[in-house]
């Protein structure tokens, strides 16, 4: 598999001026996604996960937001492209699927026609040919009897089938990058696994890169090979899956990990992260997580920690020293492991 | 579907009977109606028809002829029986069959209703779309102002104002006699364009606001985001939005047209259009029960049919709607 860089985001800032003040939805975010990656972006609601990707696709209203930084897609800065150029990339080279497959398909159009439309808006081919391609796509994503289901309306599909149809639509032009924004959140657990499998299969078969946005660390740990943890519009920790899950560095990541129920830890209590995410208008001074952090110390409310490698081998944004982090995380782990044994 | 339509049609007969019953009740309860409240215990209608100082036998004769000497339930039963057979009775005044008289007055009313409805539909939808796309623009704001103005003006005043302005000041319109479209299309148009406008303007305001707000609501739907995400050009994205936003407009249009076909009372009176509305008003002022009943039942019939058509059309517009 090649290691071609597909998407490179550099110091992206998306600020929305509102009547109450400047909402800093994304505030200085950098990351790269290579072909073959499943890049997991994790964070609470409002941490800027979705805005980042909608901005990359050019779906954020540019008049309503101040957008700075660079979003390099195969070397081209998407933020500098005009509307029409962006449209030609959307769906063709970069596709997106969304959280709620119930509302993402137009209820009045046949599922097949919606996919045909997606094909025809980038490829000038005869309609018959586009229909044939749609049958193939529907079949490829595991929809039985694609010729019959082509003529169905979205309400005749189950939730899982709708998400499959969305994936078929997204793959219509064999894009290089698939952005999946909470693709399994609205689905049953069993269907979730099927859809994740499908995304993985599609990734390998089509040799593409996938960005998987989710608030579910369990999902990320299953399929992502790289993970970025976001908090209040910024990345607080980033690395390979093994780095982030095996040697987590940021107290926020710890909090997320502790709040996942685990079969092995039966009997131990889930630990919620105290407090609520900060307002994106008045983010706290210093580290934006410090008001909720049990390990805060002197510089946390003054110095804003930048995200860099602090000795653990992968970057994080916490003032604690690497040694200190190892100690604290081991301490926090201890009662859970004990309860399990 | 067929079963559904048949059931709805059967129910519509019940509706029509209820409408007729209410008109009967009102007519016989109200003073000056057909109730035996007139001089000498006679029906005031019969007294009125008999002329000045009539002999009692004449009044009784008239009562007998019109069936007014029978108890009200019997009269009602006879009426319904005839209605089911397509007979709406005879006018007290002209002895003309009511159905025939109404059908004669249907073309002017239909001309008025259909013409006006096309204007308000086209203008309303167009203005609504532009307002939604160019939200908060000068066009959007000024169309809002005009919408409020026309919405607030009562038709009788707007109509008189229009006549004063176009017939008097500008002299480009003549309040004249109605001519059927078949006999002289040009004259028909000359007579009709101003009433169309007057009748349509209020609805242009309502429809443009409706289309605008529907479109704005739909703009935030997930499937519109999907349409953009798959790279559809903007005009196709707008088509996706319109498909959802205009569906409720179809419902409203059907009902409004149905109501108008029952007669636009004020507009017909102001512009001297010999339609069903004008006929009904005349019938009310002269206590002409069969005509009042006929026009009311017919108006109800149009509304019921419009409702049914709208519901059937809706099943085709929205695939999620299924009738059993």
Contact with chain B for residue A59, Cβ under 8 A: yes
Inform me whether the pLDDT recorded for A12 exceeds 90.
yes
Residue ranges covered by each domain of chain B: 31-87, 99-317
Give the model confidence (pLDDT) of A212-222 as tens digits: 999 888 889 88
Which positions in chain B touch A122 (Cβ < 8 Å)?
A: 231
Per-residue pLDDT, B38: 55
| Nearest-CA distance B232 → chain A (Å) | 6
Average pLDDT over residues B177-199: 89
Note the pLDDT of residue B32: 55
Q: Is A118's Cβ below 8 Å from some Cβ in B?
A: yes
Tokens 């000045």 correspond to B52
Per-residue pLDDT, averaged over A74-90, amounts to 91
ipTM of the complex: 0.86
Q: Is the pLDDT of residue B80 over 90?
A: no
CA distance B276 to B261: 8
**Spatial distance between the Cα atoms of A310 and B160, rounded to a whole number of angstroms:** 83
pLDDT value at position A29? 92
Find, among A81, A166, A86, the residue nearest to A122 by Cα: A86
pLDDT digits 0-9 by tens, A124-175: 999 999 999 999 999 999 999 999 999 999 999 999 999 999 999 999 999 9
Neighbours of A191 (CB within 10 A): 17
- For residue range B275-323, list pLDDT tens digits in order: 999 999 999 888 888 899 999 999 999 999 999 999 888 888 888 888 7
| A171 contact residues in B (CB cutoff 8 A) | none
Determine the Cα–Cα distance for residues A173 and A254; give it in Å rounded to an integer: 39
- Give the mutation candidate from A61, A87, A120 for the B interface (greatest B CB count, under 10 A): A87
When the pLDDT of each residue in chain A is averaged and rounded to a whole number, the result is: 89
Q: Is B285 exposed, middle or buried (0-12, 13-18, 19+ CB in 10 A)?
A: exposed
* Region(s) of chain A under CATH 3.40.50.300: 5-230
CATH number at A5-230: 3.40.50.300
pLDDT score recorded for residue A1: 46
Residue whose entry in the numeric block shows the structure tokens 């959802």: B244
Contact A106 B222 (CB under 8 A): no
Phi-psi region of B247 (alpha: psi -120 to 50; beta: other; left: phi over 0): alpha
Q: pLDDT exceeding 70 applies to what percent of chain B?
A: 95
Pull the structure tokens for residue A101: 């497959």
pLDDT level of residue B37 (50, 70, 90 thresholds): low
For residue A273, how many other CB atoms are within 10 A of its CB? 18
B99-317 CATH: 1.10.3720.10
- In three-state form (DSSP H/G/I as H, E/B as E, the rest C), the secondary structure along A99-161 is CCHHHHCCCCCCHHHHHHHHHHCCCCCCHHHHHHHHHHHHHHCCCCCHHHHCCCCHHHCCHHH
What's residue A340's pLDDT?
54
């Amino acid at each position: 598999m090649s290691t071609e860089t597909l998407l490179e985001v550099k110091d992206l800032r998306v600020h929305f001026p509102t009547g109450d003040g400047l909402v800093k939805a994304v505030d200085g975010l950098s990351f790269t996604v290579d072909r073959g990656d499943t890049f997991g972006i994790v964070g609470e609601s409002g941490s800027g996960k979705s805005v980042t990707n909608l901005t990359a696709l050019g779906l954020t209203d540019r008049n309503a937001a101040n957008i700075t930084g660079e979003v390099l897609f195969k070397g081209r800065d998407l933020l500098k492209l005009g509307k029409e150029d962006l449209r030609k990339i959307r769906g063709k080279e970069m596709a997106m699927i969304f959280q709620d497959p119930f509302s993402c398909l137009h209820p009045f159009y046949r599922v097949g026609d919606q996919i045909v439309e997606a094909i025809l808006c980038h490829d000038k081919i005869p309609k018959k040919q586009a229909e044939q391609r749609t049958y193939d796509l529907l079949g490829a994503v595991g929809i039985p009897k694609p010729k019959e289901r082509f003529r169905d309306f979205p309400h005749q599909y189950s939730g899982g089938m709708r998400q499959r149809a969305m994936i078929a639509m997204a793959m219509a032009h064999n894009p290089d990058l698939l952005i999946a924004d909470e693709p399994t959140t609205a689905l049953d657990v069993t269907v979730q696994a099927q859809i994740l499998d499908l995304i993985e299969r599609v990734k390998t078969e089509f040799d593409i890169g996938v960005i998987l946005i989710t608030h579910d660390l369990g999902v990320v740990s299953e399929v992502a090979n790289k993970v970025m943890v976001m908090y209040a519009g910024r990345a607080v920790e980033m690395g390979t899956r093994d780095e982030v899950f095996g040697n987590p560095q940021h107290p926020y990541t710890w909090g997320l990990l502790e709040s996942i129920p685990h079969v092995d830890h039966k009997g131990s209590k889930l630990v919620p992260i105290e407090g609520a995410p900060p307002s994106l208008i008045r983010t706290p001074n210093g580290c934006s997580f410090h008001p909720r952090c049990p390990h805060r110390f002197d510089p946390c409310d003054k110095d804003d920690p930048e995200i860099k490698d602090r000795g653990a081998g992968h970057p994080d944004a916490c003032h604690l020293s690497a040694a200190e982090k190892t100690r604290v995380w081991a301490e926090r782990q201890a009662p859970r492991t004990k309860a399990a044994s | 579907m067929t079963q559904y339509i048949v059931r709805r049609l059967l129910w519509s007969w019940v509706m029509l009977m209820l409408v007729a019953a209410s008109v009967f009740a009102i007519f016989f309860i109200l003073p000056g109606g057909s109730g035996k409240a007139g001089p000498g215990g006679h029906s005031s209608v019969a007294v009125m028809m008999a002329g000045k100082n009539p002999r009692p036998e004449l009044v009784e004769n008239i009562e007998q002829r019109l069936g007014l000497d029978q108890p009200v339930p019997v009269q009602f039963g006879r009426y319904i029986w005839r209605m089911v057979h397509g007979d709406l009775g005879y006018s007290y005044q002209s002895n003309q069959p009511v159905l025939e008289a109404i059908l004669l007055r249907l073309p002017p009313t239909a001309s008025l209703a259909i013409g006006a409805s096309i204007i308000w539909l086209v203008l309303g939808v167009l203005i609504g779309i532009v307002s939604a796309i160019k939200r908060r623009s000068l066009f959007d704001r000024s169309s809002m102002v005009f919408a409020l103005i026309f919405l607030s003006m009562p038709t009788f005043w707007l109509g008189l104002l229009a006549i004063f302005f176009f017939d008097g000041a500008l002299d480009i319109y003549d309040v004249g006699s109605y001519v059927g479209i078949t006999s002289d299309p040009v004259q028909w148009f000359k007579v009709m364009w101003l009433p169309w406008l007057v009748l349509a303007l209020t609805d242009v305001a309502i429809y443009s606001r409706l289309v605008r707000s529907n479109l704005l609501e739909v703009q935030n739907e997930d499937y519109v985001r999907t349409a953009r995400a798959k790279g559809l050009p903007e005009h196709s994205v707008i088509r996706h939005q319109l498909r959802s936003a205009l569906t409720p407009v179809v419902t409203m249009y059907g009902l409004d047209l149905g109501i108008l076909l029952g007669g636009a009372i004020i507009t017909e009176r102001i512009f001297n259009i010999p339609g069903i509305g004008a006929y009904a008003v005349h019938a009310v002022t002269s206590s002409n029960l069969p005509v009042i009943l006929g026009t009311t039942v017919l108006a109800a019939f149009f509304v019921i049919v419009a409702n049914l058509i709208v519901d059937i059309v809706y099943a085709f517009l929205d695939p999620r709607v299924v009738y059993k």
